[in-house]
Amino acid sequence: MNSGRSTSIMATALGALALLAAAWALLWSPALARIGELDAEREAAEAHHQELRAHIALAARDHAQLADLQTDLARLETQFPTAVDLPEFTRGLARLADSSGAAVRGVTVGASTPVTTAPQLPAAPDGTPPPALPEPPAGLYAVPITLSVEGAFEQAQAYARALQEADGRLFLLSRLSWSGETEEGAASFSISGHTYVLAPAGTTAP
């Protein structure tokens, strides 16, 4: 009788083990595998969220700098216009002349030439080599300008200084010289220099 009971208990135990194995195969093992997949997906999602947060932070920084960038761009577009635009340039020259007391009597514009190399800076007094300047951008042209100006020498000096320090179009002074007197006895001066044009790609020389 004990033998029969032991056999029954063993059969029951074997049946329980079989059920446990079946449950493991059918339920728990897939569930555990799914948990592993979900963990991998969670880690991938967290990495993606970190990347998104980095992009958002970068976009927020760029947005905060946008106003400054637009201001810098507007200033550069004024200093390096895309065309000579002689009428507007002449009006700007006249406004500067009014503030200095000099009078502009003539404006001569020469042919533009492409700027292909950066200027060489002189060495320091102690012999230290100068820093290398970056190469000019494609489409940069130098336009020679000669101005005939009347007034006192101090007024001509003030006008030449204003041309270089003005916030508007860039003007690089190369020479200020006395050229004579008018019939009315006013002194006449010649101011020479260059303004610059940054022509868009694919356009002809200004």
What pLDDT digit, counting tens, does each position of 86-111 carry? 788 888 888 888 888 888 888 898 99
Using CA atoms, how far apart are residues 195 and 206, in angstroms rounded to an integer?
Answer: 12
Given a cut of 80, is residue 63 above it in pLDDT?
no
What pLDDT digit, counting tens, does each position of 42-60 carry? 777 677 667 767 766 676 6
Using CA atoms, how far apart are residues 196 and 115, in angstroms rounded to an integer?
Answer: 9
Given a cut of 60, is residue 127 above it in pLDDT?
yes
User: Which residues, listed in sequence order, are joined to residue 140 by a DSSP beta bridge?
Assistant: 198
What pLDDT digit, counting tens, does each position of 8-19 carry? 555 555 555 555
Q: CA angle, corner 87, sides to 162 and 190, nearest 5? A: 45
pTM above 0.85, yes or no: no
How many residues are listed for the chain in this entry?
206
Class of domain 86-198: alpha beta
Q: Given this model, what pLDDT does residue 1 score?
A: 47
Any alpha helices (H) in the chain, and if so which ranges? 2-23, 29-79, 86-100, 153-165
What pLDDT digit, counting tens, does each position of 140-170 carry? 898 999 999 998 888 888 888 888 887 677 7
Dig out the tokens for 80 from the structure.
């390096």
Q: Given this model, what pLDDT does residue 144 score?
A: 93
Calculate what percentage of the chain has a pLDDT beyond 90. Answer: 3
User: Which residues, listed in sequence order, are joined to residue 180 by a DSSP beta bridge?
Assistant: 188
